Amino acid sequence: MTVSVAVAGASGYAGAEILRLLLSHPSYHSGELTIGALTAHASAGQRMAEVAPHLVPLADRRIEETTATVLAGHDVVFLALPHGHSAQIAAQLADDVVIIDCGADFRLRDSQAWEQFYDTDYAGSWPYGIPEMPGHREQLRTTRRVAVPGCFPTGATLALWPAVNASLITADIQIVSITGVSGAGKKASVPMLGAETMGSLKAYNTAGKHRHTPEMVQNLQEFTDQPVVVSFTPVLAPLARGILTTAQAPLAAGVTPDQVRQTYAQAYADEPFVHLLPAGEQPQTQHVVGSNMCHLQVEVNTQTNRLLVTSAIDNLCKGTAGAAVQCMNLALGMPETAGLPLVGVAP
């Protein structure tokens, strides 16, 4: 059986990254996976060589308009679209199509949280695409609809769920994530210009205003009956790719540093895309760029009795496109790691 794949939003950063990974997928090279329609809006009619010249095998492919008619007939459809656009397209596609939404439309289970943070109608929720979260891999193996997580929640959730699940902390959590500019997408924007970002750091959507905050709370709330409180501060850095996250929370009474490390080592012992670094080594974004890896470090500040977890991911790979392909592999019964690099690009 040959699996045909379409990518909506193919000219954007996330869509192009999905295509980069698919072009390295063993099923693509064996002919068992074909890349079908490539769609977008503003760049419709252009050749891929004009918008993504690094994707040489697709250079002469023509970008089509994003419509359900164009996307219909494929076995897998990736929706790499701005929030509010996926639900309408998805509703017009057949039930047996694997739809993998890289936008926010189906991530939140709480309609009130959606209405508080987003400006479109609530569309419902789909199985959530962090396979490393207990129970989620099993859901993803049996679904035809996947909500790919946000990039910030990916780094934060992988950093924190083992601690919450094992009751190592009081879930009053402070998270700071430093991100590269590609997280804002490819659309023209003055704040994202090189002259505005080079040599500068800037916090934004602070004090609970960032849309990924309720997603973090939702993810961590799965592992405790106690209310989860998250204070999240994103910081824009002059990087093309990468997210470095630091997460802190009060340590529960009697929890030791050895217990913390043992908990994380056990949680991720069999996870191919999460690497717990040896004690004393710190995650760096440069070590995960181009890979589907998350590098983690766990520490206990004995002076303040607080847990500190640091994670590093590539926001476009593990934070978006890599997660999408990982979920596709699971939904189609392919090896979960197929087409997904474990090794970053250095220097």
- The catalytic residues are 151
C-alpha 225/C-alpha 219 separation (Å) is 13
C-alpha 266/C-alpha 116 separation (Å) is 37
284 three-state secondary structure:
coil
DSSP calls for 76-122: EEEE---TTSHHHHHTTS-TTSEEEE-SSTTT-S-HHHHHHH-SS--
Q: Where are the alpha helices (DSSP H) in the chain?
A: 13-23, 26-30, 48-51, 68-71, 86-90, 111-117, 136-140, 151-165, 194-197, 213-221, 257-267, 322-332
Crossing angle of helices 151-165 and 257-267, in 10° steps, is 120
DSSP calls for 291-344: SS-EEEEEEEETTTTEEEEEEEE-TTIIIIIHHHHHHHHHHHT--TTTT--SS-
- The Cβ of residue 154 has, within 10 Å, a number of other Cβ atoms equal to 29
Is the separation of the CB atoms in 61 and 43 below 8 Å? no
C-alpha 34/C-alpha 23 separation (Å) is 9
